[in-house]
Structure 1
């Protein structure tokens, strides 16, 4: 299944990923500078949340598209149950 994002959705996901990228760069810099462990972990947790939110946004878009276009999946030889199982596996990979 190929995801198709609308302009606003795509921008939001990319912003979250860029934020996570900046936070991870910050974590690397903090470790290299020997910063306080608590500060490093706080920044790392923020990066992790940003990545999770981006992943959930991508999965939500995929679910929405699958629910509104079930026939397309069937035309590609994938049953509704197979599509559901695949999306469930993706969702659980972020849990």
Structure 2
């Protein structure tokens, strides 16, 4: 429930990296917003990745939040042209 506290706890236990993740079921819930994961990662001030809602329209927000890794599963495998979607995402990363 409290992703910030948990992220800090696992870092203190020796984890090198924390995943801020929302599965497809969570993403399908009304009101889901990737920014909640991004805020948690930024607030925890730990190295983190984010998965769950990463796409071309959100990749800038992912970078601004300081995520070290962005997992863009559905944005690629659900695209009409997965190779093109991956290229566009990669090109958007600065």
Using structure 2 for the length normalisation, give the TM-score: 0.31
Q: Compare CA radii of gyration and give the structure with the larger one.
A: 1
Q: Which structure ranks higher in relative contact order (CA pairs < 8 Å, sequence separation ≥ 6)?
A: 1
Greater fraction strand: 2
